[in-house]
Structure 1
Amino acid sequence: MLGLLMHSPCAASLTCPSTPMPACLSVLRSNEDFSPQQPAKPAYSLLPAQAARIDERGWCAMDLTTKLRSQPPCPSFRIFEDGIGGCIKARPEDFQVEEIPWRDPSGQGEYLYLFVEKNGMSHGELLAVVRKAFDCEARDVGYAGMKDKAAVTRQWLSIPKKFSENASHFNHEQVRLLGTIQADRPLRRGDLRGNRFVIKIRDIDPIKAIQAGRMLQKIEEDGLPAFYGPQRFGYRQNNHRLGGALLTNDWQGALDELLGPSDGNYPPHQTALREAWSSQDAEALRSGWRPSQRFEMLAARKWLKYHDAEKSIRSGGRVTLNFLTSAFSSFLFNQILEERCRRGLLQVHQEGDLSVDPLKKSTLAAEEGGIPSALFWGKDAQLADGIQGEIERQVLKTYDIQPEWLQNRWAPYGERRPMRFHISNAGVEGGFDEHGSYIELRFTLPRGMFATVVAAEIMGEQDHPETDEDQISPDAPSA
C-alpha cells in the first residue's frame, strides 16, 4: 500500500497544510472522482503529432534530419489529464538514486566492488575520479548502470583487486566511498535489478501530495508507458538526430548538428561558440568549448587540424557514437509506443504481440507474466505481427528507414523492450524544509526505466525538460 505523509521540519516558522492520516489513507484507497485520461483514437496517415501540421506530400520531401527536427523525441502522451505542476532537480540532493544489484557479491575473488556516492557529478567524471584514485585504466572500471549528474546517486563499481591498496586513501569532495567487498567477476552493463528513487518536487503546494499519492498508486497498479526519458536525447534533445546522421554517413550534417546553431536549442552561453562555427572563427572553436562538452571540444579541434568532417565526428570515440545511434532507435521506440498508447492499447494484449520478461527482456508468454513489447530498431531485431507489427512498420516507413543502415558499423543491436513498467514501494510526503515547500516521491523502478518519465506524469507537461549539459555522451543516465 502506498504511504502518504505530511510534515514540516521547520514547523516553528512555517505552517504546513495538514490532513488527518485516516482521511489521507481512505483517499488513497479510493479512485472516486479520479480517472486517467481516456486516449483518443484518431484516424490519420502520418503520426499524430505530425499530421496536425504537415501534409503527406511535404513530409515525403523532407530529408531524415528535417523529419527528426519536426518531432520532439519525448512523447507528449500522458495517462493523466492534469498534473500537479512543480519542478525537479532544483539541487542535486532533491534527486536521489540508489542502485539495486542483480546479485550480491560473493565476498571473495579477484575483483573489488566499490559502493560509491557521487554528488552533482556526471558518470564520466566519476569514472575519471576512480581511475585517478586507484591508478587504473578505463577498461579496468566496471559498472552496472549510469546515473544522473544533477543528483546524489549511490552505485557499485568494480576494479581488479590488485588496485585495492588505494581504497583506504580514497578522498574526493564530490565522491564518497561507502564500502568495498570482493567479488569473483567484474560488473557489466545491466548487472542491476533496478533503482530506488527519492525525488523532491519544488515550487509546489504540499497539500497536492494527496493528488500525487493517488496518481502514484494508479501507476503502481496499472503501470506507465516505458518511454525513453529526455536524458537519452541529451541536453539539446538532439542525440537522435546525430545518430541518424551517422547511420546515413552524413558526416558533415552530423558535424553541423553537433557544433552549429541547428534548431537554436542550446544554453545561452554557447551562442557565440555556435555562431563561431557558422563563421569558422578558428580561435573561438579552438579554445571556447568547456571540458564537460568533450565531444564538441574534440570535434572542433579535429576539424581545425584536418577539415575532415568524418575524422571530426569519429573523435568522439566508439562508445559515444554507438550511444548516439542507440538514441536514434530510442526515438523510434518512443514513436511506436506513443502510437500504441493513442490507440488505447497499452494495457490490452493483442494478437501478434511479442511478450517479454520485463527484467531480462527475453521472450516470456503473456500467461506467464510477459509484457507486450515494442521494437527497439537495430541489428537482428524482430518485428511483431498483428496491430503492433503494423504500427512498427508504419513508423519505419514514416522515417524511410533503410535495411542497408543496419550494415553501418555504428548501427545498434535490436531488441524487444517492454511497453510498460510498474513502480513498487511507492510513497509520498509533503512538507517544508530549509529550501521551502516540497512534495517527495519515493519509488523503485526496474532497470532501464526512467524516473523522469514518472515525474513528468505526476507533474504534467513541462516546458523545459530537465537534462544535464554534458549528456550528449554516454554519460547520460539510463534510469
Structure 2
Amino acid sequence: MLPDWPRALGQPLVSGLLKAEPKDFVVEEVFDVEFSNDGEFDWLWIEKCGDNTEYLAKQLARLAGVQPRAVTYSGQKDRHAVTRQWFCVHLPGKHKPEWVVPENETWRILRQGRHRQKLRLGSHRYNRFILRLTALHGDLTDLETRLQSISQGFPNYFGEQRFGHGGGNIEACRQWFAGELSPGRFDRGMYLSAARSLIFNTVLAQRLSDVSWNQGLDGDVFSLRDSGSVFLAEVDADIVSRLTAGDIHPTGPLYGKVGKLGVGAVVAELEEQVYTGFSDLCAGLMKNNLTMERRALRVVPKDLQWQKLEDGSLSLAFSLPRGCFATALVRELINY
C-alpha cells in the first residue's frame, strides 16, 4: 500500500468521485505540429478511450506492417479516460497506409500528416485536462477556497497510477532488484520510474511536513517554471521574490548517480535521510546506471477554471507541464 502523503492544504472537507466514467477525465497533448508533407514518418492525432498508449502503439504497428519499435509517441496517457495524443509511424520506402480503424475499436484518427521528422518521447510541453468531479458531499464552500490556493501552486507529487494497483510496481521492482523477477524492457522502465517516483514523493512529503516545499533551503537546486532547466543558488531576496511569484520552484531528486549539479547543506542532509529508508531501491537504481535528475516540488496550473454544474458536479479545466499529474491537483481539492 502507498502512503497517504501529506497535502499542502490539509485533509479535504469534501469527498467525491474522479473518473466515474471515462468521459469525466479528458486529457489532450498541447503540441502544435506543422507537417513537411514529405519524409518517412506518418503522424497520427488519435483520440482513444479504454486503451493504454503502449497497446495502441502495437495496434498501429500491426496495421502498418512494421515492428512495434517503429511506432513512437511523446507521452503515456491514461487508459480509463478520453485522451488525445500524437503517434508517429516510421515507414521508410513504404507507401502511405490507408489507416482504416478496425470495427469495434475504441479509438479514432482525428488528423494525420506526413513528416520528415520523428516524434520523440517528451516532445510536447503541456497537457490540457478537462475533469468532472461527481457525487460531491461535505463542506462544499471549502472548494472555492482550495481552488484559489491551488491556482497559486500545489505539490508536484507523482500520481498513484505511476505505482500500479496498490503499489504493485514497487513490489515488482524490489523483486527484480533481488533477482526474483526477470521483467521485459518496457516493464523494467516502468519499475525504475516507480522507484524514483516513490523516493521523490517521500522527499516532497518531508518538505511538506517541514513547510519548505514552496520555499528555498540552504543547498537547494531550483527549477525554472515549466522548464527542465535547473540551477544552484543561495537563498537571497531575489530568490525569495521569484519563489513567491512562482517563477522558480525548489526541486527534489529523481534518484541516480550524482550529476553535474548536486544539492548541499540542509537539503543534502534531508535527502540522504530519505535515501536511507530506501537502500534497496537506491542500490538497484545505481546498478542500472541512472543519473540523478531534479524535478520541481511545486507546479502551478495554467488557466485553471472551474464551474459548478446543474447536477451538483464540479467541472475543472487546466493545463500542466508534461510529466505532472492531474490527480495530484485533485487530491488537494477532494477525497476521491
- Pairwise TM-score range, normalised by the shorter structure: 0.7 to 0.9
Q: Aligned match of 1:342 in 209, 229, 233?
A: 209
What whole-Å deviation, never above 9, does each CA across 1:38-71 have from its counterpart, x for those lacking one?
xxxxxxxxxxxxxxxxxxxxxxxxxxxxxxx6xx
Q: Secondary structure at the match of 2:14?
A: coil
For residues 179 and 28 of structure 2, what CA distance do their matches in structure 1 show? Answer: 39
The number of equivalent residue pairs is 321
The answer to whether 1:246 aligns with 2:176 is: yes
The equivalent of 1:444 in structure 2 is 319
Q: CA offsets per residue over residues 318-357 of structure 1, 9 Å max, x none?
A: 1211220221111111111110111011221122101123
Partner AA of 1:325 in structure 2: L
In the other structure, the counterpart of 2:306 is: 428
- After TM superposition, where is structure 1 displaced by more than 6 Å over at least 4 residues in a row? none
Task: Tell me if structure 2 keeps the 8 A contact 1:243–1:324.
Answer: yes
Q: Say yes or no: does 1:105 pair with 2:34.
A: yes
User: Which residue number in structure 1 is paired with residue 134 of structure 2?
Assistant: 202
For residue 143 of structure 1, the aligned residue among 46, 49, 73 is: 73
Contact 1:205 1:437 in 2 (8 A): no
Structure in which a larger fraction of residues adopt helix: 1
Structure-2 separation of matches of 1:403 and 1:328: 8
Matched-pair contact (CA < 8 Å) for 2:25–2:82: yes
Deviation of residue 425 (structure 1)?
A: 1.1
* Structure of higher CA gyration radius: 1
What stretches of structure 2 of length at least 5 have no aligned partner?
234-238
- The residue that corresponds to 2:9 in the other structure is 79
Q: Deviations over 1:255-276 (max 9, x none)?
A: xxxxxxxxxxxxxxxxxxxxxx
In structure 2, the partner of 1:160 is: 90
Cα distance change, pair 414–378 in 1 and its aligned pair in 2 (3 A): same
Q: TM-score, normalised by structure 2?
A: 0.86
* CA distance in 1: counterparts of 2:170 and 2:176, whole angstroms: 10
Runs (5+) with no aligned partner, structure 1: 1-68, 253-312, 463-479
For the Cα contact (< 8 Å) 1:73–1:334, is it kept in 2?
Answer: no
Aligned to 2:252: 374
Q: CA deviation at 1:440?
A: 1.2
Contact 1:74/1:227 (CA < 8 Å) preserved in 2?
no
Which is strand-richer, 1 or 2?
Answer: 2
Distance 2:330 2:57 in 1: 28
1:207 is displaced (CA, Å) by 9.6
Conserved 8 A contact 2:42-2:113: yes
- The alignment-based identity, stated in percent, is 26
Residues 305-324 of structure 1: pairs in structure 2 closer than 5 A: 313-314=181-182, 316-324=183-191
Q: Residues 47-446 of structure 1: matches in 2 within 5 Å?
A: 72-73=2-3, 75-101=5-31, 104-110=33-39, 111-162=41-92, 165-172=96-103, 173-204=105-136, 208=140, 211-221=142-152, 223-247=153-177, 250-252=178-180, 313-314=181-182, 316-364=183-231, 367=239, 369-381=247-259, 383-400=262-279, 405-409=284-288, 412-432=290-310, 437-446=312-321
- Give the corresponding residue for 2:236: none
Determine the C-alpha separation between the residues in 2 that align with 1:167 and 1:450: 35
Question: SS at 2:147's partner residue?
Answer: helix
What is the alpha-carbon root mean square deviation over aligned residues?
2.5
Q: Partners in 1 of 2:214 and 2:227 — Cα distance?
A: 20
